[in-house]
């Protein structure tokens, strides 16, 4: 089949969402399809969203491919008779983040109008898809709640799961992610104030802005946590990451309302337990409290306790990690399944 | 080139005759099919006539034609099917009438029986004020707006040209009004007149029972208050000397029973029985004879409600001076080709004009000749054909812009975007620069 | 700097422009910038689509980049305060192809309007760019002639010039390119009917459609050229290509009316090999000079056969032509340093 994978992207924003289209492209080619990724630039600023959606509607790709896969808002407004969605997330700024401290759009009457227009378009164009998949129950839930649209969950696999490995557990919890407020590295650092064990924390990731990095560095300084917390404030290579996972005691991954979280997969492929929070969104779908890791309230003391429990009981930690790996295997989060669902 | 020509073609509509003249010229150069929804009793033609009933969607046949032309006029019965078809298949609208309120009032109220649709349509065009006026019309507490002269402020022609790919009108007066609301191409083409229509029957004033020693003044057409006949009668009443110089013949029927009776009463009360004659409706040959024997025509319209004036064009071809009020289409005829009076000074102007013309036969001849020259040069089928076909080229040339604007409009409508949103301006701006309109 | 290269995308077609975009991106990263390629799909038939896509490009936005480098119509309509053009293509159908069989847009009133709109929009939006570069004199000339806009020629260099070398002068002419009518591989094959020497022809490239490949194969069969002509009907690796250049007698590159000299010309001269091209090939004439760096002949099989034989019978001369071509290249300053200075300073 000739397959177009369309994504609207903001250049140079790194994160899980940017890899999925390239991975999917590679996999589809392996399966013998002709596939191409089209990354269309866009500006994620709501007041300018309507004209960009209009622009996407004007693009004619109907004759170019047998199948069109749309992965991000607003690329799914593009017209195609055989459109399949594998939704990473919608425009959260106008849905669940509207009117909250995490929202960055002022609730003016003009923006309210824009918001209504975007919701109307979503309702209309999402429904044009022949099949709708999402990357997690969280995303499916939002789609149902805000747009009354049903969808099937199709968890995205890692590209190179087999590269992850498990070595002897060290003394640190590993937290790899873009350094930005919703990922809540600040909360992870704060919890280190309350740990009683010798457990350490290694944070690694590229900061969204220099201020983000300064902020968490300052928390470490103010609380004299230099011995306990190490911050690698830049993007690390795949190999470095795999090493850090391999030797970790466990993975600490506590974002706010994450859509999915590849980090969870990476941890389990490394057979390491995962500590997450009850409000971490998609992460919670893959972690089972007491079985494959720990789910705690988003409070420093509770997190600290969970960290300590891993440190004080290494055998248990290893078991949790191993169970996590087993659970993943049983869930069939694989590219075979993805291709079958999308092209079948 | 193949054209689908939608028109009334019955014997009563003036537009039927216009269509006959124009299509006979067009068919010399291209293929023309007539699309007619009237019953029987049609004008003769050699063209293929397709019959259709109301609102028929000609989409499947549409691709056979390069252009679809819709002749729109104020008469509901003659133009309803044309209007409905124009909603389903875009084409060029030839707008014959300025005031179309009667048409749409009839359409919504009598045909669709939907008062709220009528009110919404009025409000959309004329805002809250319009809605209130329309509500008043429906309430029965005051005269219906389309029966009054205020209707010129709520003409409703905007609805007839909505969605057209281009609009043709027959006066610069109406063109200006259309351009104020219609973004596509608009062209003014003067109506074509065939001088052969003037049949010299040889009937004399004496044959018609008219005094030979008095000048014959004629007004013709449907009698309504808009034609200011009452003012003419008053002017004659106020100057016996003038009244003695002329016979004033009024030919035409009227639906305005009260007004007509009032005019007749005026004549009786003011003792003008020797001067003024009401002929009522007359068949073409008699009307023609009166016109050929006329010395002066009076053709007053105020406020102008038509798109052009077929009667004026006919009168000009008779090589006699015509007295008109300076507004609408009448203003477009150059000074010296007729006599224009100022609406603000109507009676005095009328009196002066009549006094001068009745006294000076050289001037009458001069004005008559200039008027005829102007008419012969400007109201021709050749000119009509030329301007018509080059307008069609322009319509086609504007298609890409119109289609793009439409497409954008559709997409924004699907998103339920509001007119006042920033995106509308931004897109309009981009389109404007792209098409070199800035 | 954060740089977005904005290109137009016709899905599943990978040609010189796409290769250039990739090369540019890699070089920008090499020079320490962050670079990404973003694409906007384009369809130009029916003609109304052209203006719809023009408007779409006008409304799209590129956020979070310091600079945009735009390559083709209508992608260069995208708005950005720091936009530089490295113009590979305007919509030729509205310009030099107008009035020829390749016009594509009908000469009806609406077709004319569309043409006019393309020209008007180019006039308005190209000027938004801070700097305007093109990839050839042909493109710059056209931009000046039709739009009155000045531009500077910035030749696209090879991505990896050091991988090309000269080994020996063998017995074959080499023609690597996408197999498509416009490149006229069929003409090269036909000319082998008329060669008198032992020269051979190797054609290599991915066919745009299977029919293109079938067509060439059928010419070989009909004329029994199997011993003279070899067709590699798919992409070959960089190494294979370098090898084939390195041992070639010369290179034949005879596209119809192309704007740019083409990577093939560069690769051939980088490998020290002479180039045979046609008088109507367009941009190649900027580097291929008759009797100096190669041969320029009318697009006729016999004329081409003659030059092929010439190269075969006088290999010393062939080497000289190839070397002269290589020297000429170096005088033209076709380097990535220059490109970086122009586009990313």
Domain ranges for chain B, please list them. Answer: 2-100+155-192+382-400, 110-154, 195-378
As a whole number of angstroms, the distance between CA C323 and CA B333 comes to 82
pLDDT band at residue B284 under the 50/70/90 scheme = confident
Q: Which tens digits make up the pLDDT trace of C8-31?
A: 999 998 888 998 999 999 999 999
DSSP state of B331: G
Distance of CA C246 to the CA centre of its chain: 21
Q: Is B431 on the interface with C (CB under 8 A)?
A: yes
Average pLDDT over all residues of chain A: 93
A194-226 exposure pattern, b = at least 16 Cβ within 10 A, e = fewer? ebeeebbbbbbbbbbeeebbebbbebbeeeebe
Whether the CB-CB separation of A174 and A232 falls below 8 Å is answered with: no
Decide if pLDDT at C222 tops 90: yes
Closest residue in chain B to residue A121, using alpha carbons only: B415
Q: Is B27 helix (H, G, I), strand (E, B) or coil?
A: coil
Superfamily of domain B2-100+155-192+382-400: Glycogen Phosphorylase B; (3.40.50.2000)
Whether the CB-CB separation of C293 and C275 falls below 8 Å is answered with: yes
B137-168 exposure pattern, b = at least 16 Cβ within 10 A, e = fewer? beeeeeebbbeeeebbebbbbbbbbebbbbbb
Pairing of strands A2-9, A250-252: unpaired
Least confident among A311-315, B198-202, C252-256, C313-317: B198-202
Q: Is A60 on the interface with B (CB under 8 A)?
A: no
What are the angstrom distances between the C-alpha of A24 and each of A150, A191, B310, B343, C287?
23, 37, 72, 78, 42
Closest to B109 in 3D by CA, of B82, B80, B130, B129: B80
Q: Is C113 on the interface with B (CB under 8 A)?
A: yes
Least confident among A176-190, A304-318, B2-16, B54-68: B54-68
As a whole number of angstroms, the distance between CA C285 and CA B381 comes to 58
Q: Which tens digits make up the pLDDT trace of C266-321?
A: 999 999 999 999 999 999 999 999 999 999 999 999 999 999 999 999 999 999 99
Closest to B69 in 3D by CA, of B58, B60, B77, B380: B58
As a whole number of angstroms, the distance between CA A251 and CA A271 comes to 10
DSSP state of A157: P
As a whole number of angstroms, the distance between CA A161 and CA A271 comes to 11
Which tokens belong to C76? 């260069």
Q: What is the pLDDT of residue B85?
A: 93
Closest to B32 in 3D by CA, of B61, B5, B9: B5
- Per cent of chain A over pLDDT 70 is 99
Give mean pLDDT, residues B121-126. Answer: 94
Give mean pLDDT, residues A111-130. Answer: 93
What are the angstrom distances between the C-alpha of C187 and each of B81, B311, B349?
62, 73, 86
- Per cent of chain C over pLDDT 70 is 100
Omega cis (within 30) before C46: yes
Which tokens belong to A84? 């399949």
Which tokens belong to B233? 């009668």
Q: Is B307 helix (H, G, I), strand (E, B) or coil?
A: coil
Domains of chain A: 2-154 (3.40.50.2000), 161-331 (3.40.50.2000)
Estimate the crossing angle of helix C315-331 against helix C301-313, to 10 degrees: 100
Which tokens belong to A225? 């946590």
Whether the CB-CB separation of B2 and B30 falls below 8 Å is answered with: yes
pLDDT band at residue A14 under the 50/70/90 scheme = low
Determine, for residues B396 and C121 on separate chains, whether the beta-carbon distance falls below 8 Å. no
**Neighbouring subunits of C (3+ Cβ pairs under 8 A):** A, B
Whether the CB-CB separation of C307 and C295 falls below 8 Å is answered with: yes
Closest to B68 in 3D by CA, of B44, B51, B85, B52: B85
Residue to test with chain C: of A12, A14, A25, A37, most C Cβ within 10 A: A12
Higher pLDDT, A220 or C102: A220
Give mean pLDDT, residues B393-421. Answer: 92
DSSP β-bridge partners for residue A4:
A36, A68
Residue with tokens 């049609």: B42
Q: Which tens digits make up the pLDDT trace of C84-129?
A: 999 998 999 999 999 998 899 999 999 999 999 999 999 999 999 9
Q: What is the pLDDT of residue C130?
A: 97
Integer distance in angstroms from the first to the last C-alpha of chain A? 11
Q: What percent of chain B is helix, strand and coil (3-state, nearest 5)?
A: 50, 15, 35
Q: Which tens digits make up the pLDDT trace of C129-181?
A: 999 999 999 999 999 999 999 999 999 999 888 999 999 999 999 999 999 99
Query: How close C52 gets to chain A, by Cα (Å)?
Result: 6
Which tokens belong to B221? 């057409």
DSSP β-bridge partners for residue C295:
C276
Nearest by CB to C39, which of A39, A43, A63?
A39
Whether the CB-CB separation of B36 and B49 falls below 8 Å is answered with: yes
Whether the CB-CB separation of A5 and C23 falls below 8 Å is answered with: no
Phi/psi at C285 (5° precision) = -65, -15
Domains of chain C: 2-154 (3.40.50), 161-331 (3.40.50.2000)
Q: What single string gives the DSSP state of each residue in C123-183?
A: HHHHTTSSEEEESSHHHHHHHHHHH----EE-PPPPS-GGG-------SEEEEES-B-GGG
As a whole number of angstroms, the distance between CA B149 and CA C40 comes to 57
Determine, for residues A116 and B416 on separate chains, whether the beta-carbon distance falls below 8 Å. yes
Question: Residue length, chain B?
Answer: 438
Whether the CB-CB separation of B294 and B212 falls below 8 Å is answered with: no
Whether the CB-CB separation of C138 and C283 falls below 8 Å is answered with: yes
DSSP state of C317: H
Q: Is C71 helix (H, G, I), strand (E, B) or coil?
A: strand
As a whole number of angstroms, the distance between CA C56 and CA A56 comes to 7
Decide if pLDDT at B17 tops 90: no
pLDDT band at residue A110 under the 50/70/90 scheme = confident
Closest to A36 in 3D by CA, of A73, A66, A9: A66
pLDDT band at residue B222 under the 50/70/90 scheme = confident
Determine, for residues A113 and B421 on separate chains, whether the beta-carbon distance falls below 8 Å. yes
Which tokens belong to B417? 């975007």
Residue B298: CB atoms within 10 Å? 26
Which tokens belong to C237? 């690796």
Q: Is A123 on the interface with B (CB under 8 A)?
A: no
Decide if pLDDT at B249 tops 80: yes
Give mean pLDDT, residues B253-275. Answer: 91
Q: What is the pLDDT of residue B420?
A: 84
Q: What is the pLDDT of residue A327?
A: 93
Q: Which tens digits make up the pLDDT trace of A277-309?
A: 999 999 999 999 999 999 999 999 999 999 999
Whether the CB-CB separation of B89 and B68 falls below 8 Å is answered with: yes
Burial status of residue A336 (CB atoms within 10 A of its CB: 0-12, 13-18, 19 or more): exposed
As a whole number of angstroms, the distance between CA B56 and CA B58 comes to 6
pLDDT band at residue B197 under the 50/70/90 scheme = confident
Determine, for residues B422 and A58 on separate chains, whether the beta-carbon distance falls below 8 Å. no
Whether the CB-CB separation of C121 and C77 falls below 8 Å is answered with: yes
Query: How close B416 gets to chain A, by Cα (Å)?
Result: 6
pLDDT band at residue B438 under the 50/70/90 scheme = low
Higher pLDDT, B142 or C123: C123
Determine, for residues C11 and A65 on separate chains, whether the beta-carbon distance falls below 8 Å. yes
Burial status of residue B417 (CB atoms within 10 A of its CB: 0-12, 13-18, 19 or more): buried
Decide if pLDDT at B201 tops 90: no
Whether the CB-CB separation of B250 and B229 falls below 8 Å is answered with: yes
Same fold, B2-100+155-192+382-400 and B195-378: yes
Determine, for residues A59 and C41 on separate chains, whether the beta-carbon distance falls below 8 Å. yes
Residue to test with chain B: of A43, A47, A49, A50, most B Cβ within 10 A: A50
Which tokens belong to C179? 């197999």
Whether the CB-CB separation of C94 and C54 falls below 8 Å is answered with: no
Residue to test with chain B: of A51, A56, A91, A122, most B Cβ within 10 A: A51
pLDDT band at residue B55 under the 50/70/90 scheme = low
Which tokens belong to A41? 């630039």
Decide if pLDDT at A16 tops 90: no
Residue with tokens 């006019």: C116
Residue with tokens 């000046």: C144
Query: Which residues in B lie closer than 8 A to residue C60 (C-beta atoms)?
Result: none
Q: Is C107 on the interface with B (CB under 8 A)?
A: no
Q: Which CATH number describes the domain made up of B195-378? A: 3.40.50.2000
Q: What is the pLDDT of residue B194?
A: 85
Which tokens belong to B293? 């024997």
Any residues with CB less than 8 A from the CB of B67 and at least 6 apart, and which? B1, B2, B3, B4, B91, B92, B392, B395
Closest residue in chain A to residue B404, using alpha carbons only: A58
Burial status of residue C145 (CB atoms within 10 A of its CB: 0-12, 13-18, 19 or more): exposed
Residue A150: CB atoms within 10 Å? 9
Pairing of strands A2-9, A67-70: parallel
Give mean pLDDT, residues A19-40. Answer: 94
Determine, for residues A39 and C43 on separate chains, whether the beta-carbon distance falls below 8 Å. no
Q: Is C43 helix (H, G, I), strand (E, B) or coil?
A: coil
Closest to B219 in 3D by CA, of B323, B137, B145, B307: B323
pLDDT band at residue A102 under the 50/70/90 scheme = confident
Q: Is A302 helix (H, G, I), strand (E, B) or coil?
A: helix
As a whole number of angstroms, the distance between CA C254 and CA B88 comes to 53
Nearest by CB to C60, which of A2, A36, A42?
A42
Q: Is A131 on the interface with B (CB under 8 A)?
A: no
pLDDT band at residue A15 under the 50/70/90 scheme = low
Any residues with CB less than 8 A from the CB of B420 and at least 6 apart, and which? none
Query: Which residues in C lie closer than 8 A to residue A64 (C-beta atoms)?
Result: 10-12, 41, 43
Burial status of residue A315 (CB atoms within 10 A of its CB: 0-12, 13-18, 19 or more): exposed
């Amino acid at each position: 089949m000739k397959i177009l994978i369309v994504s609207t992207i903001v250049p140079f924003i790194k994160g899980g969402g940017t890899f999925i289209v390239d991975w999917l492209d590679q996999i589809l080619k392996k399966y013998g399809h002709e596939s191409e990724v089209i990354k269309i630039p866009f500006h994620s600023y709501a007041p300018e969203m309507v004209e960009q959606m209009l622009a996407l509607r004007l693009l004619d790709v109907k004759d170019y491919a047998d199948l069109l896969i749309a992965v991000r808002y607003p690329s799914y407004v593009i017209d195609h008779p055989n459109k399949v969605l594998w939704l990473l997330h919608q425009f959260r700024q106008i849905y669940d983040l509207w009117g909250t401290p995490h929202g960055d759009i002022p609730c003016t009457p003009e923006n309210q109008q824009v918001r209504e227009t975007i919701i109307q378009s979503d309702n209309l164009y999402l429904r044009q898809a022949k099949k709708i998949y999402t990357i997690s129950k969280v995303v499916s839930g939002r789609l149902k709640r805000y747009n009354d649209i049903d969808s099937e969950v199709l968890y995205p696999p890692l590209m190179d799961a087999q590269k992850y490995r498990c070595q002897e557990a060290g003394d640190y919890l590993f937290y790899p992610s873009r350094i930005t407020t919703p990922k809540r590295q600040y909360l992870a650092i704060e919890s280190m104030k309350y740990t009683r064990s010798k457990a350490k924390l290694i944070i690694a990731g590229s900061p969204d802005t220099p201020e983000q990095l300064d902020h968490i560095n300052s928390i470490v300084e103010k609380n004299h946590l230099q011995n306990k917390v190490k911050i690698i404030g830049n993007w690390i290579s795949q190999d470095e990451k795999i090493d850090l996972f391999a030797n970790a005691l466990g993975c600490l991954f506590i974002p706010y309302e994450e859509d999915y979280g590849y980090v969870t997969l990476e941890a389990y492929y490394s057979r390491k337990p995962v500590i997450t929070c009850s409000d971490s969104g998609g992460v919670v779908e893959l972690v089972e409290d007491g079985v494959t890791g720990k789910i705690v309230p988003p409070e420093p003391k509770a997190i600290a306790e969970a960290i300590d429990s891993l440190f004080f009981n290494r055998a248990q930690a290893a078991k949790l990690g191993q169970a996590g790996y087993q659970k993943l295997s049983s869930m069939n989060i694989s590219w075979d399944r993805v291709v079958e669902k999308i092209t079948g | 080139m193949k054209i689908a020509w939608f028109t009334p073609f019955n014997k009563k509509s003036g537009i039927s005759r216009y269509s006959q003249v124009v299509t006979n010229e067009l068919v010399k150069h291209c293929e023309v099919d007539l699309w007619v929804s009237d019953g029987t009793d049609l004008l003769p033609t050699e063209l293929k006539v397709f019959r259709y009933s109301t609102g028929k969607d000609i989409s499947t046949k549409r691709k056979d034609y390069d252009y679809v032309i819709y002749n729109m006029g104020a008469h509901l019965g003659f133009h309803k099917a044309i209007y409905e078809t124009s909603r389903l298949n875009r084409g060029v609208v030839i707008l014959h009438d300025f005031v179309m309120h009667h048409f749409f009032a009839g359409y919504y109220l009598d045909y669709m029986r939907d008062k709220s649709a009528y009110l919404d349509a009025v409000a959309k065009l004329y805002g809250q004020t319009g809605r209130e006026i329309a509500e008043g019309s429906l309430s029965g507490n005051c005269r219906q707006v389309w029966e009054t002269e205020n209707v010129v402020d709520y003409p409703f022609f905007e609805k007839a040209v909505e969605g057209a790919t281009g609009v043709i009108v027959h006066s610069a007066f109406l063109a200006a009004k259309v351009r104020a609301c219609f973004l596509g191409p608009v062209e003014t083409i003067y109506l074509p007149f065939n001088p052969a229509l003037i049949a010299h029957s040889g009937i004399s004033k004496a044959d018609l029972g008219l005094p030979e020693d008095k000048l014959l003044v004629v007004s013709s057409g449907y009698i309504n208050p808009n034609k200011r006949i009452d003012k003419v009668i008053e002017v004659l009443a106020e100057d016996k000397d003038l009244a003695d110089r002329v016979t004033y013949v009024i030919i035409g029927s009227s639906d305005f029973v009260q007004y007509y009776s009032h005019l007749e009463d005026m004549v009786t009360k003011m003792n003008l029985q020797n001067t003024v004659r009401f002929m009522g409706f007359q068949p073409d040959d008699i009307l023609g004879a009166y016109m050929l024997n006329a010395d002066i025509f009076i053709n007053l319209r105020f406020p102008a409600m038509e798109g052009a004036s077929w009667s004026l064009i006919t009168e000009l071809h008779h090589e006699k001076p015509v007295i008109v009020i300076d507004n609408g289409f009448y203003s477009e005829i150059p000074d010296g080709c007729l006599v224009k009076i100022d609406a603000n000074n109507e009676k005095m102007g009328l009196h002066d004009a009549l006094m001068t013309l009745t006294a000076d036969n050289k001037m009458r001849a001069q004005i008559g000749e200039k008027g005829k020259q102007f008419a012969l040069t400007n109201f021709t089928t050749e000119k009509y054909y030329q301007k018509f076909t080059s307008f069609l080229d322009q319509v086609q040339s504007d298609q890409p812009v119109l289609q793009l604007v439409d497409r954008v409009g559709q997409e924004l409508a699907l998103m339920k975007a509001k007119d006042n949103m920033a995106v509308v301006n931004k897109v309009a701006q981009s389109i404007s620069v792209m098409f070199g309109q800035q | 700097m954060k740089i977005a290269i904005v290109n137009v995308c016709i899905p599943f077609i990978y040609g010189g422009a796409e290769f250039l975009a990739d090369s540019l991106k890699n070089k920008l990263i090499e020079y320490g910038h962050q670079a990404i390629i973003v694409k906007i799909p384009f369809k130009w038939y029916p003609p109304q689509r052209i203006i719809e896509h023009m408007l779409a490009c006008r409304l799209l936005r590129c956020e979070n980049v310091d600079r945009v480098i735009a390559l083709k119509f209508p992608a260069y309509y995208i708005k950005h305060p720091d936009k530089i053009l490295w113009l590979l293509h305007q919509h030729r159908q509205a310009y030099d192809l107008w009035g020829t069989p390749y016009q594509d847009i009908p000469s009806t009133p609406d077709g004319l309007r569309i043409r006019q709109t393309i020209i008007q929009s180019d006039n308005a939006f190209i000027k938004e760019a801070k700097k305007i570069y093109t990839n050839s004199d042909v493109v710059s000339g056209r931009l000046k002639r039709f739009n009155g806009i000045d531009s500077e020629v910035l030749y696209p260099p090879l991505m990896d010039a050091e991988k090309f070398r000269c080994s020996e002068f063998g017995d074959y002419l080499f023609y690597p390119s996408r197999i498509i009518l416009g490149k006229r591989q069929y003409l090269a094959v036909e000319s082998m009917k008329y060669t008198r020497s032992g020269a051979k022809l190797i054609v290599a490239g991915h066919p745009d459609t299977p029919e293109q490949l079938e067509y060439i194969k059928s010419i070989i069969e009909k004329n029994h050229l199997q011993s003279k002509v070899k067709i590699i009907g798919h992409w070959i690796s960089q190494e294979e290509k370098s090898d084939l250049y390195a041992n070639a007698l010369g290179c034949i590159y005879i596209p119809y009316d192309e704007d740019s000299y083409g990577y093939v010309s560069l690769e051939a001269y980088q490998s020290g090999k002479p180039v045979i091209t046609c008088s109507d090939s367009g941009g190649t004439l900027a580097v291929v000079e008759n009797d100096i760096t190669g041969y320029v002949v009318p697009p006729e099989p016999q004329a081409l056969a003659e030059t092929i034989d010439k190269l075969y019978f006088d290999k010393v001369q062939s080497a000289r032509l190839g070397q002269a071509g290589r020297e000429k290249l170096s005088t033209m300053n076709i380097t990535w340093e220059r490109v970086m200075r122009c586009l990313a300073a």
